Amino acid sequence: MSQIIMLDDVSHHFKINNQTISLFNKLNLKISAHHSHAIMGPSGVGKSSLLLILAGLEKPVSGKMTFTDRDCIKTELALRQCSGFVFQQFHLLPELDALNNIALPLKLKGDKHAIEKALFWLKQVGLEYRSKHKPNELSGGEQQRVAIARAFVTQPSFVFADEPTGNLDTQTAKEIADLMFSCAKINKTGFVVVTHSKDVCDRADFCYEMSHGKINKVNVQHNLKQGSVV
In a domain, 224, yes or no: no
Whether 27 and 11 have beta carbons less than 8 Å apart is answered as yes
In a domain, 160, yes or no: yes
Q: Which residues contact 42 (CB under 8 A, 6 or more apart)?
A: 196, 211
Greater model confidence, 35 or 44 = 35
- Report pLDDT digits (tens) over 85-102: 998 888 899 999 999 999
* Cα pseudo-dihedral 160, 163, 164, 166, rounded to 10: 180
Q: Is the pLDDT of residue 2 over 90?
A: no
In a domain, 228, yes or no: no
Give the closest residue to 211 by CA, choosing from 27, 63, 52.
27
CA distance 197 to 180: 14
CA distance 2 to 46: 27
**pTM confidence score:** 0.90
CA distance 37 to 208: 8
Residue 163: which region, alpha, beta or left (left: phi > 0; alpha: psi -120 to 50)? left
Whether 194 and 162 have beta carbons less than 8 Å apart is answered as yes
In a domain, 151, yes or no: yes
CA distance 114 to 27: 39
pLDDT at position 228 is 35
In a domain, 225, yes or no: no
In a domain, 186, yes or no: yes
Residue 154: give its domain's CATH number. Answer: 3.40.50.300
What is the span of the domain harbouring residue 95?
A: 4-218
Counted domains in the chain: 1
CA distance 125 to 86: 14
In a domain, 172, yes or no: yes
In a domain, 10, yes or no: yes
pLDDT at position 218 is 86
- Report pLDDT digits (tens) over 112-146: 999 999 999 999 999 999 999 999 999 999 999 99
